[in-house]
Amino acid sequence: MLAYRSWPSWAWLRLRWAVAAVAVGALLGLLAARFSPALVIAAVAGGVMLVVILRAPEVGLLATMLLSAGFVAPTSLPQVPFGPFDLNLAEVIVLVQLAHVAWRGLTRRGAVRVRTPLGGLVVWFLFAVLLSAMRAVLLYSTDLFFVISRLRVLLFYASFLVVVGLISTRRQARRLVGGLYAIAVALALAAVAQAVYPSFRLSGGQAATLATAGQAHEGVLRVTLPGLPLIYVMLVVSVCDLALRDGARLLPSLLRALALGAGIVLAFQRNYWLTLGLVFGAAIVVIGGRPRRRIVRAVAAGLLIVTLTATYAGGDITRYAVATRDRLLWGLSSRTLIQDRSAQMRLLETRYALDSIARHPLLGIGIGGYYRPAVPEDAYWREAGGRSLRYYVHNAYLWIAVKTGVIGLAPLVAFLALAVARGLARWRALSDPWERSLVLGLSLALMGQAVSNIVTPNLVEAPALVVYPIAIGVSEVVLFQSSGADARRTPAREAGA
């Protein structure tokens, strides 16, 4: 027999909600009379957002990724005063979620916790980064504000602790991955829109005529967005999804992969193209016969779609196809690389970085410190970037070794290597096809990015690096929740079962 609330109980509940609504309205009215309407609206929006990200942590993680992806320039993001500094909204969200992780750890000891060997490595790395920042200011007199600007970027690695600390259900993991797909596809389509309509611009990205070793390709735009690593990661996951999910609809998945692929092509980053070739080759080797046939069908359908699009678009597609060919073949020839100022600067950076590491192997020279003297080639970078890049190293691993020494490089390399190894070793044991494709795709994508960072320091250079700790965290959550996870649950959870 169904039980219903009694009339007094129902009426009392309605009365409480009415009183609460009146109280909130009165409070807002008082605030509006005391402060500016814009400030009141911002406070209300902030309160609503706080409630949302506390109740749905995946929303906070997606908001961080969205704000870091390049749709809006970092200088245009809302700023929150924090002592002598201003934090942007993405940084505030990460700090709030870290506080949530700490609170949950202190007050909800019986909850399911994702146990992973990678958490300690992240804490170790963050400790090394903080130590390096203090040494840069106290020992080497590096500009405090510049050190903090570099430090704030690297602290986004704490997002891994947020993922494994707050994402505890499969539904949350699926929503998080779905949101990452949505952001990546939107970013890729924005890149296509900039190429088709040059007047269209995202404030957080760059679009300029493609040039390689001084040779310009007129009518071809190179579109660079901070969230490009996210597009890369989700493209690999999408291809693995096409191969391993028999029940998935081919056309939507194929169109998603084509959109992401277009975003990668328009960036004209040769290291991305080469490492994707490596990654897709590795995927073909490990996935097995039947998934290979699905990939062949998907490639055939994709070529048909591209051919039809090229026929409709005419010369525009042809120009980009020729530029892609030249960038890959002519741009990687030894004769071209000798003339490429960017390639020559990388060699110069490597020489000085290795010399700095030899002199400061254990602790480095501190975050933000200059590791090399000024050289004539710096004029090229001042012209291109508008700032001195004597602190900058294109090799992410040399960057970390120069700034933090072995004490910082070791946990970062171990974090990446162990994440890739665990995914590649365990993806076949997962029973759910979506989980298999996700873990394999993330592992292969991280492997490709680990190689790519030898020449492009996405691991350390921009807030969009948040994609790496989030992706690794999602993989660890899925592995924990897979078969055998019950044996790794907390004692309190086991007792309750």
- Phi-psi bin for 214: left (phi > 0), alpha (psi -120 to 50), beta? left
Beta bridge partners of 314: none
In a domain, 17, yes or no: no
pLDDT at 306: 73
The mean per-residue pLDDT over the stretch 194-222 comes to 80
Of the candidate ranges 34-48, 49-63, 160-174, 404-418, the one whose mean pLDDT is the lowest: 34-48
In a domain, 406, yes or no: yes
Query: 128-140, pLDDT tens digit by residue?
Result: 999 999 999 999 8
pLDDT at 220: 86
52-56, 98-102, 299-303, 332-336 — which one is most confidently predicted on average?
A: 98-102
pLDDT at 493: 44
Q: How many domains does the chain have?
A: 1
In a domain, 27, yes or no: no
In a domain, 495, yes or no: no
The mean per-residue pLDDT over the stretch 258-263 comes to 93
Please choose, from the candidates 96, 203, 115, 213, the residue with its C-alpha nearest in 3D space to the C-alpha of residue 159: 96
Show the beta-strand stretches assigned E in 163-301. 206-212, 215-224
pLDDT at 290: 83
Q: Show the CA angle centred on residue 376, arms to residues 373 and 377, nearest 5°.
A: 95
**Range of the structural domain that residue 240 is part of:** 126-480
| Cβ within 8 Å of residue 417, ≥6 positions away | 450
Residue 2 has pLDDT above 60, yes or no: no
Query: 332-381, pLDDT tens digit by residue?
Result: 777 777 777 777 888 889 999 999 999 999 999 999 889 998 887 777 66
Of the candidate ranges 155-169, 187-201, 290-304, the one whose mean pLDDT is the lowest: 290-304
Q: Whole-angstrom Cα distance, residue 254 to residue 241? A: 10
In a domain, 289, yes or no: yes
pLDDT at 405: 97
186 — pLDDT class (breaks 50, 70, 90): very high
Residue 387 has pLDDT above 70, yes or no: no
pLDDT at 176: 97
Whole-number Cα distances in Å, 390 to 101, 366, 373:
37, 13, 7
pLDDT at 155: 94
Please choose, from the candidates 360, 463, 434, 348, the residue with its C-alpha nearest in 3D space to the C-alpha of residue 139: 360
40 — pLDDT class (breaks 50, 70, 90): low
Pairwise pLDDT comparison (299 vs 436), residue with the higher score: 436
Residue 26 has pLDDT above 60, yes or no: yes
488 — pLDDT class (breaks 50, 70, 90): very low
Distance, C-alpha 46 to centroid of its chain: 24
Residue 297 has pLDDT above 90, yes or no: no
pLDDT at 12: 60
Of the candidate ranges 10-19, 142-151, 163-172, the one whose mean pLDDT is the lowest: 10-19
491 — pLDDT class (breaks 50, 70, 90): very low
Pairwise pLDDT comparison (246 vs 425), residue with the higher score: 425
pLDDT at 237: 96
Beta bridge partners of 305: none
pLDDT at 25: 63
Q: Are 400 and 412 within 8 A, CB to CB?
A: yes
38 — pLDDT class (breaks 50, 70, 90): low
pLDDT at 315: 57
274 — pLDDT class (breaks 50, 70, 90): very high
In a domain, 235, yes or no: yes
In a domain, 466, yes or no: yes
Q: Tell me the pLDDT of the chain averaged across its residues.
A: 84
| Cβ within 8 Å of residue 322, ≥6 positions away | 217
Q: Per the confidence metrics, is the pTM higher than 0.75?
A: yes
The mean per-residue pLDDT over the stretch 41-45 comes to 66
In a domain, 20, yes or no: no
